[in-house]
Chains A and B, each alone.
Chain A
Amino acid sequence: MSDDIQRLLPLTPTVFHMLLALADGEKHGYAIMKTVEEETQGQMQIRIGSLYGSIQRMIEAGLIRELDERPDPNLEDGAHGADSRRRYYGLTDLGRRVLTAESERIARAMSVIRAKRILGGV
């Protein structure tokens, strides 16, 4: 694993879930919030201030990038229709590789959890 990936691991839960939310396509800030909430069954709720602080640091770290244009002009912006002022964010190559590396790390931990039957017989 290259050094630029290694130095970013392990990811904080917020960054991991934000990368996971962007894994299936570009999203705007509020959509990232909602996706994280849904994918964690409400266990993780990122608030707006923390969300954009994280977005800023993830852009600086090269994990995500701001898209120059909307990924799909017909894309529905939640329940309130399209808004041309919205900015969309997507994974960079580095972001995708970091997400893969972190997922592998979690998967390895998961196999140990299974082997030791931590989850009550799972």
Chain B
Amino acid sequence: MQGKFLFSEWLFGALLTLYPARFRSAYGQQMRLAFRDACRAAYRRGGTGGLLALWLPTLLDLFKSALEERAQGEITMSKERLMAWTAPLMVIVGLLWLLAAFTEFMLVAGITSLNTFWDPIWRIPFDLSFFLMLPALLGLRLHTHAGASFTGRFGLLLSVAGCAGMVSLPLIMGVVNATVPPDQVGTLPDYIMAVCLPSIMVGQVLFGVDALRFSLLPRWNFLPLLSGLAILPLLVVITRILMIMRWSELQIIGFTSLELAIFGACWVLMGFAMTGQQRKPSAIAPVAPAV
């Protein structure tokens, strides 16, 4: 009799490796103890047949629940990973915007001239930044979701949507260029950017207001608002005014460089502000569906 128990318990213990390591270390021993009791009760009721009858549903349940825990564990791990990467991603995004600002500044400073090479080169770090900004914003949402009000949450959602639009712009243009004659493509990318960029910035402003009200960041809570405001009035209003005032192209580029630099610096500092902030994902995990 003892041998059957020992084998059953050994097999059950071996099957526990199907569960994620974290779950196993938290509950593995308790599961073994419970299974030991269940084995003995089943044997008392029905002998070896009772023991075998216990195994089939236990086995099915083990596979099912191990799969659930693995799926749940993956989601939790992804969230934790995203939260851990938020600060470095924000710093990198900020640096890319600073790099874009620098390439623009080189034109203004006369270090290089406006030509077919330098004209589009600032777009490389600028466009690349949105691919990193998207996970950074999602991570920021995870960090601040519990403390933010509707305004802040909506602001971040707006920024995420705008950023997703910017990320999908190359894909959209690829499809458009493949299906639409070149002369009909026109200014579609400009229209997409005209919607997506303000979305990001308005979102930053809304989130920034919330950050100031509820101290959502560990420090320097003025930064999200400043980063949004730096771009919005400058990009939309001042640049327009400068064009009406017939400023030269280089002067307008200089202003754009300043906008990019302010936004970049804000994001670098926000990244540093976020460094070391680790909140448990359980604080933001939706509990109701899981329960």
- Mask, B202-222, CB within 8 Å of A = 1, is 000000000000000000000
Can you name 9 A-B residue pairings with CB atoms under 8 Å?
A28-B34, A47-B61, A49-B65, A50-B61, A53-B65, A57-B291, A77-B37, A80-B36, A85-B29
Interface size on B, residues (CB 8 A): 31
Q: How many residues of A contact B (CB 8 A)?
A: 33
Stretch at the interface among B160-168, B251-259, B282-290: B282-290
Are B35 and A53 neighbours in the complex by a CB distance under 8 Å?
Answer: no
Which residues of B4-36 have CB atoms within 8 Å of chain A's CB atoms? 19, 23, 26-27, 29-31, 33-36
**Contact A56 B23, beta carbon cutoff 8 Å:** yes
B177 at the interface (CB under 8 A from A): no
Chain A, 1-58, CB within 8 A of any chain B CB:
7-8, 11-12, 15, 28-30, 33, 45, 47-53, 55-58
Q: B residues within 8 A CB of A57?
A: 287, 290-291
A105 at the interface (CB under 8 A from B): no
Quick check: is A112 within 8 A (CB to CB) of the other chain?
Answer: no
User: Which A64-122 residues sit within 8 Å CB-CB of chain B?
Assistant: 77-80, 83, 85-87
Report which of B26, B34, B282, B288 forms a contact with A51, defined as CB distance below 8 A: B34
- Are B34 and A33 in contact, CB atoms less than 8 angstroms apart? yes
In terms of DSSP, what is the predominant structure of the interface of chain A? helix
Given A47-B61, A55-B27, A79-B40, A29-B291 contact (CB < 8 Å): no
B160 to chain A, nearest CB (A): 24
Q: Is B57 located at the chain interface by the 8 A CB criterion?
A: yes
Pick the 4 closest A-B CB pairs, nearest first: A49-B65, A47-B61, A61-B287, A30-B34
CB distance from B168 to the nearest CB of A (A): 34
A52 and B31 form a contact (CB under 8 A) = yes
Closest residue to B62 on the A side, CB-wise? A49
